[in-house]
Chain A
Amino acid sequence: MAAPAPQRLSLGARLAARVNNVRHLLVKELISLWRDRALLILVLYAFTAAIYIQANGMKHDLHRATIGVVDEDNSALSHAILDAFLPPRFQPPVSLDPGRVDKEMDAARYTFVLNFPPDFQSDVLAGRSPSVQLLIDATALMQAGLGATDISGIFQQEVNRFVSRTGRDTPAPAELKIRVAFNQGLESSWFTGTMGLITNITMLSVLLAGAALIREREHGTLEHLLVLPVHPSEIMLAKIFANGTVILLGSTFSIVVVLKMVMGMQIAGSVPLFLVGTALYLFFTAALGIFLGTLSGSMPQFGLLFFLIVLPMNMLSGGFTPLESMPQWLQTAMQASPSTQFVAFAQAILYRGAGMDTVWPRFLATFAIGMLFFMVALVRFRKFLAAQQ
């Protein structure tokens, strides 16, 4: 009964067969993912609650800053200034004994300590231009800088108001008018929310693709696939498309429902354009996941590699700290990482409303690097199977 040897097929037929194989394997991948409830719950969480929590939990602006006060003046002016430090940016200032200032600051209980000298108010009224000391704990990086600017502004404003009531006002010759483009309210939760989404996209897609590969190898199913008329590239593409589809759906939900509807984020640019870019980026991350999978002998080894590669890739992408503050060599090196490109074009599209004309070079770079990893992973695929002897 043995089947006759199939004839050599035409190029078109072979291509069609390969597309079909990818399609059948894709269905298999989706069923597998559907049955892995733990992973599914992780994916759901990552695109819903995690984004919301991250956006609202981690404030990149001044929030509940602590101020200690040594008020040696106890005047109407000093009280007026202190009363101007309001929540949510500040906690109510706490009066301190001068001798305890150092201890309290050493223990990081107060980030700022204001010291009003005696006769402060009367000196102001007499035009002696007294100075008030503000101690800043410079190890509280984020708060120290922002808080100092803020406190200084409030201080000047209150003093000026006090002085103008007493009739000594000098208007500045040139006024500074500051306009904030793109995110007028400087709403930091939009920023952290979007960056949280980007982080989760990276983490999950690398993890899902790599773990799917290692699981198949550990279960012996990969070896089984390779004795079927299936090409390794088809197996890889099926994995990339399956995981990419799931994460793309999650991202869409996250943007439209969580960020836009629940958190009220104003999206300047086109969401579909962002999703096109995300799809290109997912091609890269899934290829990277498969590549890392082929490098590691077991799931825990994959996990450790994952941390060593993906964590820095994420942290240095410009989504956490501004890229331009990094050393020049690191900035240059990070340009080669699609995560940096992704953060850049995501910010451009979502916040600044950039269009295809602006972001296409970054799209191209992302895809090119993705392709590179795909090819390397493909080469390693067979070696990886041979290595499990």
Chain B
Amino acid sequence: MPPRAIRRRGRRSERRVPSVRERIVNTPSERSSGTPAPSGAAGGGRPAAVRLAGIRHRYGDTTAVDGIDLTIAEGASVALVGPDGVGKSTLLGLITGAKRIQAGTVEVLGADLATRRQRDLVQPRIAFMPQGLGRNLYPNLTVAENIAFFARLFGENADAKGARVAPLLAATGLTPFAGRLMRKLSGGMKQKLGLCCSLVHDPDLLVLDEPTTGVDPLSRRQFWDFVETIRADRPQLTLLVATSDMEEAARFGRVVMVDEGRILADDSPAALLERTGQPNLERAFISLLPEDRRGDGDGAERSAPIPDDAPIAIESRGLTRRFGDFVAVDHVSFKIRRGEIFGFLGSNGCGKSTTMKMLTGLLPASEGEALLFGVPVDPADIETRRRVGYMSQAFSLYGELTVRQNLELHARLFSLEEDAAARRIAKLTDDFDLTEHLDALSDGLPLGVRQRLSLAVAILHDPELLILDEPTSGVDPVARDGFWDHLQRLSREEGVTIFVSTHFMGEAERCDRISFMHAGRVIATGAPEELRQAQKAASLEEAFIAYMEMGGREAETDARLPPPAATSAHRSSFSWSRLGAYAWRETLELRRDPVRLAFALLGTAILMIIFGYGITLDVDKLRFAVLDRDQTAESRAYIDGFAHSTYFVAEAPLADPADLDRRLKANDIAFAIELPPDFGADLRSGRPTEVLVTIDGAMPFRAETIQGYVQQVHLQFLQQAAQEAGRSLTTAASLEMRYRYNQSFKSVDAMVPAVIALMLIFIPAILTALGVVTEKELGSITNLYVTPVTKLEFLLGKQAPYVAVAVFNFFVMVGLALFLFGVPLKGSFLGLFLGAVVYVLATTAIGLVSSTLTNTQVAALFGTAIGTMMPATQFSGLLQPVATLEGAAWAVGTFFPTTYFMRISVGAFTKGLGFMELVPFILVTAAFWPALLLIAHLILRKQET
């Protein structure tokens, strides 16, 4: 067996005859014979598609690109290769105009990307697929809708471009899935869809960033076949692809090897192999690296096979899992012997992870059973978990803990004795080379180190069984090799049973036995070599593909790209079509998120009902009790004055002063009246007497109101008493109070219009803010960077659906006010409506501004909530008229739209203002929209910095 090489994306093809895939792989450069075999610099006599000079790029202290010069000829196909984090993505971002240039010049298709005008001109000719499965696509849009969205972004004429959707779908074999939501596609299909979306506008430069990472081998092959077809049909198309898979790179006419922000080598694959004298590109790359970064490259021989009579560690009997109608795992059965390494392979979403979760007890099975060590899996059985180690696909340890803290936490949770734990941790950190990282936060570690830490944690408690779900996805080949060495040692030296899933054929070859899985079913199980021979395939990958097709995976379609549509060079500075594309997309997105939709449509109504009923500043139904020491007709008459008022509710009389204290303390009563002995007699004889009222001052506002009420009732009593006695109690002058606008002084009449103003800022602003930030978080903001859409179109398109939602809410709330709360609309409805429209334009624009300032949905959510609620409730005249505010509070109140709409709403409802009287407020409110839009426009960046 040859020495184990450093493998990229896992195939050990150097040990085998070239696979069919490799033959296919190598065709494009041959077929597109126009591509010159470049020797280092710009090729042939063709004009340059991309010219980079002196490119440098830094992120804080880290240098990502450190002086790169590169020229790519038109029609060339170039692969940019190198491990993770060497600056490939940065370079592509600069070439597509997504990133702002820090140093150097970037010239693409004859345009200098440093200037905005030239960028705008050339961007419609570039297509960019960022890294990550479907990262620039919209998960809640269907396949067809995603394509239509991109078509509208690029085309003035939506109909003509729409006609291209069907042929593109047919070419990629996506037609049967046109109506499926993007997030429900498998990884391979996502990538094909991404390619469709990039091709919809017939670009001259196609830039793909790691398009096949995390995609299963069959889908990967189909993807490259499709790319090949495109190139055959459009020889002038320049193709630039970043990849960390050296085998994929071999199919390109030219390979640019990048390491640590610099170009390591740049030549055709054949020339590179010749120069380094290595059998494949991966080895060539490693040989070009500085000495200390090459890895050890020793080879562990495959050890003896597991004896057939070894006890069975895992057994699955007809294991089935359904999610609704969807059968994720369909009667899967297998047996795994103790000490065996058992591999699980299959397309994305074929049920590998679900099966593993059922084995760990994370997910209950719908049917069938799983046995670990002969005992059925029971999620409630804590003890079995001590015998199993599990590692999930993504890094799932605590990033905010250090390496040591993570290890210690797990040791404690597995109840290891302190000193035993310390010994075990010391051994593991030594075994897994973690010593130098012990006190580093796990989040900041390189992927390979994190992977080693995950494995160390998984075996910390000496489990007998390891379940590993795609443990090496996205990991460096050097790191991956070391990882598998560990697995092999665990299996052979310590007898640990290992159940592992992977996309890498090279890893599959290191398993004792493997299963191929498709659509929830196991198609074949056996030793890798057995399976290959059974299909008479040249390589395991060939066998895999044959089995997949046997299992029902769609055969390849003959991909033909439709002829390019007549491209319009015309590009307007403002396009309703592009604005409409964003508005339409946003509407679909909103419609498909049930929580957001419910919040948008019902949120205002629910909150309005609660606040309308709940927030009242009426002080009534006040409970009081009396300590009557007199017990005469007069004292009873005095008490009646209170008891008969609707403001008060009489409680049982008080026994003594202690009772008074106690009941006030328990909040049984809000105030207490004490009538002195001889109250009646004194009153009759005109001797001065005194009534003592004790008020609960805990709630000052309420106490002050009670004070006023009590004084009034007291005065009334005196007047009445005087009248009855035939005397008149004259006052020198009286104050005649007239409550305007709301004669009965009902809280609800003033509160409901105010709540409308509050709700129309709170909910529209939050929803709009989420709309923009979601794009930032999911990565589809790239479309703003690299497509012709302008910032204004983007902002207005995002805003439009929420303005519509807000206007709808306005009508709902006016309906509630009129019919549920019975608040009459005394003034002009037209004025109120116009005011509401300009107001929601302003409030949604606040959402836009806050979303340009924040980067995560949570920050946008709470930032917007706090930023709108505080000024709206405290400084806009809800509780205190703005005229009574001072200083900063006054300034906030004056420059906040709610202040003015509050006047429109209260004015139209309660004050009965007519249209003309509302106009000044409407005009002021209207001024906020353009101002806020301008702010958002200034903050929003059309390029990543």
Tell yes or no: B865 within 8 A of A by CB: yes
Q: Is the CB of A320 within 8 A of B615?
A: yes
Tell yes or no: A221 within 8 A of B by CB: yes
Given contacts A223-B362, A322-B702, contact A389 B354 (CB under 8 A): yes
Q: With a CB–CB cut-off of 8 A, which chain A residues contact B858? A: 211, 299-300, 303
Q: Is the CB of B413 within 8 A of A129?
A: no
Q: Is the CB of B738 within 8 A of A135?
A: yes
Report the separation of the CA atoms of residues A124 and B733 in the bound assembly, to the nearest whole angstrom.
6
From A57, A64, A131, contact of B874 by CB (8 A)? A57
Tell yes or no: A10 within 8 A of B by CB: no
Binary B-proximity of A6-48 (CB < 8 A = 1, otherwise 0) = 1010000000010011001101100110011000000000000
Tell yes or no: A219 within 8 A of B by CB: yes
Q: With a CB–CB cut-off of 8 A, which chain B residues contact A76? A: none
Q: Is the CB of B611 within 8 A of A315?
A: yes
Tell yes or no: B659 within 8 A of A by CB: no
From A108, A153, A171, contact of B877 by CB (8 A)? A108
Tell yes or no: B535 within 8 A of A by CB: no
Tell yes or no: A336 within 8 A of B by CB: no
Tell yes or no: A276 within 8 A of B by CB: no
Q: Is the CB of B595 within 8 A of A297?
A: yes
Binary A-proximity of B561-577 (CB < 8 A = 1, otherwise 0) = 00000000000000000
Tell yes or no: B705 within 8 A of A by CB: yes
For the complex formed, measure the closest distance between the CB of A167 and the CB atoms of chain B, giving whole angstroms.
Answer: 12
Q: With a CB–CB cut-off of 8 A, which chain B residues contact A228? A: 385, 410, 413-414
From B405, B670, B731, contact of A31 by CB (8 A)? B405
Binary B-proximity of A86-126 (CB < 8 A = 1, otherwise 0) = 00000100000000000001111111000000001001100
For the complex formed, measure the closest distance between the CB of A283 and the CB atoms of chain B, giving whole angstroms.
Answer: 23
Report the separation of the CA atoms of residues A188 and B88 in the bound assembly, to the nearest whole angstrom.
62
Q: With a CB–CB cut-off of 8 A, which chain A residues contact B707? A: 149, 178, 180
Interface residues of B, count at CB 8 A = 142
Q: With a CB–CB cut-off of 8 A, which chain A residues contact B749? A: 139
* Contacts of B708-759 to chain A: CB distance below 8 A: 708, 710-711, 714, 717-718, 721-722, 729-743, 745, 747, 749-751
For the complex formed, measure the closest distance between the CB of A331 and the CB atoms of chain B, giving whole angstroms.
Answer: 9
Q: Is the CB of B704 within 8 A of A149?
A: yes
Q: Is the CB of A24 within 8 A of B667?
A: no
Q: Is the CB of A229 within 8 A of B413?
A: yes
From B622, B667, B690, B750, contact of A348 by CB (8 A)? B667
Report the separation of the CA atoms of residues A182 and B750 in the bound assembly, to the nearest whole angstrom.
31
Q: Is the CB of B693 within 8 A of A178?
A: yes
Given contacts A138-B740, A220-B395, A300-B861, contact A229 B732 (CB under 8 A): no
For the complex formed, measure the closest distance between the CB of B328 and the CB atoms of chain A, giving whole angstroms.
Answer: 7
Interface residues of A, count at CB 8 A = 135
A contact patch SS: mixed
From A36, A140, A163, contact of B881 by CB (8 A)? A140
Report the separation of the CA atoms of residues A20 and B884 in the bound assembly, to the nearest whole angstrom.
58
Tell yes or no: B811 within 8 A of A by CB: no
Binds B, one of A242-250, A306-314, A366-374: A306-314
Binary A-proximity of B878-900 (CB < 8 A = 1, otherwise 0) = 01111111100100000000000
Report the separation of the CA atoms of residues A1 and B667 in the bound assembly, to the nearest whole angstrom.
68
Q: Is the CB of A305 within 8 A of B379?
A: no
Q: Is the CB of A175 within 8 A of B464?
A: no
Tell yes or no: A260 within 8 A of B by CB: no
Tell yes or no: A365 within 8 A of B by CB: no
Q: Is the CB of B881 within 8 A of A111?
A: yes
Tell yes or no: B603 within 8 A of A by CB: yes
Q: With a CB–CB cut-off of 8 A, which chain B residues contact A172? A: 718, 729
Tell yes or no: B303 within 8 A of A by CB: no
Q: With a CB–CB cut-off of 8 A, which chain A residues contact B593? A: 301
Binds A, one of B90-98, B794-802, B909-917: B909-917
Q: Is the CB of A145 within 8 A of B708?
A: yes
Q: With a CB–CB cut-off of 8 A, which chain B residues contact A304? A: 595-596, 599, 603, 766, 861
Tell yes or no: A61 within 8 A of B by CB: yes
From B688, B699, B883, contact of A173 by CB (8 A)? B688
Query: Closest residue to B917 on the A side, CB-wise?
Result: A106
Q: Is the CB of A353 within 8 A of B622?
A: no
Tell yes or no: A79 within 8 A of B by CB: no
Binds A, one of B118-126, B155-163, B211-219, B386-394: B386-394
Q: Is the CB of A227 within 8 A of B362?
A: yes
Report the separation of the CA atoms of residues A228 and B472 in the bound assembly, to the nearest whole angstrom.
22
Q: Is the CB of A385 within 8 A of B462?
A: no
Report the separation of the CA atoms of residues A389 and B697 in the bound assembly, to the nearest whole angstrom.
55
Report the separation of the CA atoms of residues A221 and B862 in the bound assembly, to the nearest whole angstrom.
25
Q: With a CB–CB cut-off of 8 A, which chain A residues contact B17? A: none
Query: Closest residue to B767 on the A side, CB-wise?
Result: A304
Report the separation of the CA atoms of residues A5 and B375 in the bound assembly, to the nearest whole angstrom.
12
For the complex formed, measure the closest distance between the CB of B646 and the CB atoms of chain A, giving whole angstroms.
Answer: 12
* Contacts of B379-403 to chain A: CB distance below 8 A: 379, 382-383, 385-388, 390, 392, 394-401
From A143, A162, A181, A307, contact of B696 by CB (8 A)? A181
Binary A-proximity of B655-684 (CB < 8 A = 1, otherwise 0) = 000000000111100100000000100110
Report the separation of the CA atoms of residues A143 and B882 in the bound assembly, to the nearest whole angstrom.
12
For the complex formed, measure the closest distance between the CB of B696 and the CB atoms of chain A, giving whole angstroms.
Answer: 6
Report the separation of the CA atoms of residues A137 and B913 in the bound assembly, to the nearest whole angstrom.
14
Q: Is the CB of A176 within 8 A of B691?
A: yes
Q: Is the CB of A223 within 8 A of B617?
A: no
Q: Is the CB of B412 within 8 A of A20?
A: yes
Report the separation of the CA atoms of residues A305 and B809 in the bound assembly, to the nearest whole angstrom.
18
Binary B-proximity of A175-187 (CB < 8 A = 1, otherwise 0) = 1111111111011
* Contacts of A157-209 to chain B: CB distance below 8 A: 159-160, 162-163, 168, 170-184, 186-188, 191
For the complex formed, measure the closest distance between the CB of B556 and the CB atoms of chain A, giving whole angstroms.
Answer: 29
Query: Closest residue to B496 on the A side, CB-wise?
Result: A2
Q: With a CB–CB cut-off of 8 A, which chain A residues contact B697? A: 180-184, 186, 351
Report the separation of the CA atoms of residues A324 and B621 in the bound assembly, to the nearest whole angstrom.
6
Tell yes or no: A380 within 8 A of B by CB: no
Given contacts A176-B691, A308-B599, contact A129 B734 (CB under 8 A): yes
Q: Is the CB of B884 within 8 A of A63?
A: yes
From A60, A141, A177, A351, contact of B750 by CB (8 A)? A141
* Contacts of B838-881 to chain A: CB distance below 8 A: 857-858, 861-862, 865, 874, 877, 879-881
Binary B-proximity of A317-328 (CB < 8 A = 1, otherwise 0) = 000111011110
Tell yes or no: B318 within 8 A of A by CB: no
Q: Is the CB of A227 within 8 A of B390?
A: yes
Top-9 shortest CB links A-B = A149-B708, A220-B396, A138-B742, A183-B697, A351-B698, A2-B464, A303-B861, A180-B697, A35-B400
20 chain-A/chain-B pairs, Cβ below 8 angstroms: A2-B495, A6-B386, A36-B400, A60-B700, A61-B704, A105-B740, A106-B913, A106-B917, A138-B910, A141-B750, A159-B733, A174-B688, A176-B690, A176-B714, A181-B664, A183-B698, A191-B700, A211-B858, A315-B615, A326-B616
Which residues of A pack against B, CB within 8 Å? 1-3, 5-6, 8, 17, 20-21, 24-25, 27-28, 31-32, 35-36, 57-66, 91, 105-111, 120, 123-124, 127, 129-146, 148-149, 151-153, 155-156, 159-160, 162-163, 168, 170-184, 186-188, 191, 211, 219-221, 223-224, 226-231, 296-301, 303-305, 307-308, 311-312, 315-316, 320-322, 324-327, 330, 344, 347-348, 351-354, 358, 382, 385-386, 389
Additional pairs, 20, CB under 8 Å, beyond known A131-B736, A179-B694, A224-B396:
A59-B880, A61-B701, A109-B883, A137-B740, A140-B877, A159-B733, A163-B732, A173-B718, A173-B721, A180-B695, A186-B700, A229-B382, A299-B857, A300-B774, A304-B603, A307-B603, A312-B611, A315-B610, A315-B615, A351-B698
Which residues of B pack against A, CB within 8 Å? 323, 328, 354, 360-364, 379, 382-383, 385-388, 390, 392, 394-401, 405, 409-410, 412-415, 441, 461-464, 494-496, 593, 595-596, 599, 603, 606-607, 610-611, 613-623, 664-667, 670, 679, 682-683, 686, 688-705, 707-708, 710-711, 714, 717-718, 721-722, 729-743, 745, 747, 749-751, 766, 770, 774, 857-858, 861-862, 865, 874, 877, 879-886, 889, 903, 906-907, 910-911, 913, 917
